[in-house]
Amino acid sequence: MSFRVASTVALPSRSATTLTDLGIDLVPARGVTELRTLGELGAVITTITDPVDEAAVAELHAQGVRLVANVGVGHNNIDIAAASRVGLSVTNTPDVLTDATADLAMALLLDVTRRVCEGDRLVRGGRPWSWAFDFMWGSSLAGKRLGIVGYGRIGEAVARRARAFGMTIASSSRRPRSEPDVEWMPLDRLFAESDVVSLHCPLTAGTRHLVDADRLRSMKRTAVLVNTARGAVVDEAALVAALGDGTIAAAGLDVYEDEPRLAPGLADLDNVVLAPHLGSATRETREAMADVAVQNVAAFHRGGALLTPVTG
Ligand code: DGY
């Protein structure tokens, strides 16, 4: 029987061709529920909105699946411990989305601090306006401190961009020796002393609601929070309250606790910019992500080493 791979992701044609050229049978699926109806499969390609929980792991394993190639760097949608217990390998797509996600973090930061979306609403809304000395002041980035939570590839790429805007960089994560200008400080101090806090940590049991009401209260009243990581790293209800009563100045969000649902009141606030989880959404990046997933499937099929295994 041929090696069958089901994908919940509509693969770009060049990735799909890579599989078919290898004689792999590619089966489209609308989601995890459908995957479980497709009979014998060797591997599945999923993405960050597909819940591969313990029950799904068991069922996929029973169907013969031995690899879940997740399209996305985040893999909190998959029960990795359950997968490793049954010998199911999991891969993700790091690196290729680093620049796109860092670009979006900067886009949110610039938008929030210079009030671009707010201004767009004003202009489109037909409200009267004209240039005036004291009209719609924002705040500058130069000379401000950016506190990065999660100094991995994406955090580092955001730091690179922020330096070009004249910001100083602080982080609470490990210090890479190659970046002596990054000021390392404990998390509590990072929140208390940063002008902007940008989140780049994975969602784990330890980071869920890392930014809660207390943490928000510890921030400067002029501070901005940017989240392109995972929504549940922030207690969204607490954030709505903090933005509403001026505990912090503003926020730029690409991710939400219960996507695509928003916490009540969030969309009514003028001091928040809301993007619909666009971090990696450039054509080049999404094609590269699909390629990485497919290369993992190809490596698995020929019995080689996986390119980007998730190890727990
Ligand atoms: C990821 O890959 O985890 C991103 O959130 C997708 O945009």
Residue among 45, 77, 101 whose CB has most ligand 1 atoms within 8 A, to mutate: 101
- Say what the pLDDT of residue 2 is: 86
- Rounded to 5 degrees, φ, ψ at 32 are -60, -35
Examine the residue annotation and report whether 230 is marked as an active-site residue of this protein. yes
Q: Which atom in ligand 1 lies closest to the alpha carbon of residue 230?
A: 5
Structure letter (DSSP) for residue 300: H
Interatomic CA distance for residues 2 and 50, integer angstroms = 25
C-beta of residue 45 within 8 angstroms of C-beta of residue 29: no
- Say what the pLDDT of residue 24 is: 96
Give me ligand 1 centre to Cα 282, in Å: 12
Examine the residue annotation and report whether 277 is marked as an active-site residue of this protein. yes
Please report, for the chain, the start and end positions of each structural domain, with discontinuous segments joined by +: 4-94+283-301, 98-274
Residues with CB under 6 A from ligand 1: 48, 72-74, 97, 277, 279-280
Summarised one tens digit per residue, pLDDT across range 201-217 is: 999 999 999 999 999 99
Give me ligand 1 centre to Cα 21, in Å: 28
3-class secondary-structure state, position 17: helix
- Rounded to 5 degrees, φ, ψ at 139 are -135, 150
Interatomic CA distance for residues 131 and 229, integer angstroms = 36
Q: What is the mean pLDDT of each run of 10 residues along the chain (312 residues)?
A: 93 96 96 94 98 97 97 97 97 98 98 98 96 98 98 96 98 79 95 98 97 98 98 98 98 98 98 98 98 98 97 80
Summarised one tens digit per residue, pLDDT across range 227-272 is: 999 999 999 999 999 999 999 999 999 999 999 999 999 999 999 9
- Say what the pLDDT of residue 180 is: 86
Rounded to the nearest angstrom, the gap between the alpha carbon of residue 81 and the centroid of all alpha carbons in its chain is 21
Residue nearest (by alpha carbon) to ligand 1 atom 1: 72
Do the domains spanning 4-94+283-301 and 98-274 agree at the CATH topology level?
yes
Among 36, 230, 257, 286, the active-site one is 230
Interatomic CA distance for residues 93 and 307, integer angstroms = 9
Interatomic CA distance for residues 184 and 186, integer angstroms = 7
What architecture is domain 4-94+283-301?
3-Layer(aba) Sandwich (3.40)
Residue among 76, 78, 97 whose CB has most ligand 1 atoms within 8 A, to mutate: 97
- Say what the pLDDT of residue 176 is: 65
Give me ligand 1 centre to Cα 76, in Å: 10
CATH class of 98-274: alpha beta
Helix 98-114 / helix 283-301 crossing angle, nearest 10 deg: 150
Q: Which atom in ligand 1 lies closest to the alpha carbon of residue 255?
A: 5
Among 179, 183, 259, 287, the active-site one is 259
Examine the residue annotation and report whether 193 is marked as an active-site residue of this protein. no
Q: Which atom in ligand 1 lies closest to the alpha carbon of residue 281?
A: 7
Q: Does residue 260 have a cis bond before it (omega within 30 degrees)?
A: yes
**Strands of 272-274's sheet in order across:** 183-184, 168-171, 145-149, 196-199, 224-227, 250-253, 272-274
259 CB burial (10 A radius; 0-12, 13-18, 19+)? middle
